[in-house]
Structure 1
Amino acid sequence: MSRARPRRREADPKRSGAWGRGRLAETTAALMLMLKGYRILARRWRAPGAEIDLIVRRGNWLVFVEVKARTRLADAEIALGFAQRRRITAAAERFCAAHPRHADCDRRYDMILVSKGALPRHIPGAFDANF
């Protein structure tokens, strides 16, 4: 008796376009940070229930970066909610536990805002773990 395979869902073009724009924004942010002297440790680092777009290091700073791409920079700036900040800080704790050589670094949570037709905007210390 053969089992029928589940039907494959068609990709939503709107959704796949957003995914591609997000990947491009992350690449743009990574290049910008490298030009500023940061070393990329991880891209799209996953922990249960969360993902950190970029984890970078410069000197003794271990920086967890959230990249937001929107049509307008102002929209990108307000796109990071309380629940997402909580997930990012929890994932950062997991990263440090999994990579003890970085555990003694000073930590910071940055945002990079990306919008078509504008230069990316880096916001160091956009939020902290004690929000």
Structure 2
Amino acid sequence: MKLNHGVGQAAEDAALIFLQTQGCELVARNWHCRYGEIDLIMRSGNTLLFIEVKFRKNDKFGGAAYSITPAKLVKMQRAVETYLQQNPHTGACRLDAVLLQGNQAPQWIHNITG
């Protein structure tokens, strides 16, 4: 198996820069708990954003969006709940994704849980 930590790190860096240009402020990066990792936690106004970053070179296997499976969403929601139990927040919260595919511009998907 080929590990692509460098590619993943570069994708997170690109997503972070993109979100900062959109007015978001970094709260935490690569936050871990027993349910997994939250790639980026950002603040936009009074809203706390939990960001999943996905990169794919191309859309050969459905692209970046298709890599966020229902099982992955459940783990992400549990990780968000754990974060909020440990770090209370009184404003709104949202689970988003930043999708990076090839050389295309980043795609920011709001509220990926519906």
Q: State the TM-score, normalized to the length of structure 1.
A: 0.80
Output the amino acid matched with 1:80. I
Name which structure has the greater RCO, CA cutoff 8 Å, separation 6+.
2
Aligned to 1:126, what secondary structure does the other structure show? coil
Q: State the TM-score, normalized to the length of structure 2.
A: 0.91
Matches within 5 A, 1:58-97: 58-72=44-58, 74-97=62-85
In the TM superposition, structure 1's runs of 4+ consecutive aligned residues that sit over 3 Å from their partners are: none
- The answer to whether residue 76 in structure 2 is matched with residue 114 in structure 1 is no
Give the distance between the partners of 1:116 and 1:91, measured in 2 at CA: 28
Aligned to 1:87, what secondary structure does the other structure show? helix
Give the distance between the partners of 1:65 and 1:47, measured in 2 at CA: 15
Matches within 5 A, 1:34-49: 34-49=20-35
Matches within 5 A, 1:28-39: 28-39=14-25
Q: How many angstroms does 1:125 deviate by?
A: 1.4
Aligned to 2:23, what secondary structure does the other structure show? coil
Gaps of 5+ in 2: none
Q: How many angstroms does 1:126 deviate by?
A: 2.0
Tell me the C-alpha RMSD between the 2 structures: 1.4
Gaps of 5+ in 1: 1-11
Give the distance between the partners of 1:30 and 1:107, measured in 2 at CA: 18
Give the distance between the partners of 2:103 and 2:42, measured in 1 at CA: 25
Output the amino acid matched with 2:63. D
Is the 2:63–2:101 Cα contact (8 Å) retained in structure 1?
no
**Percent identity (aligned):** 32
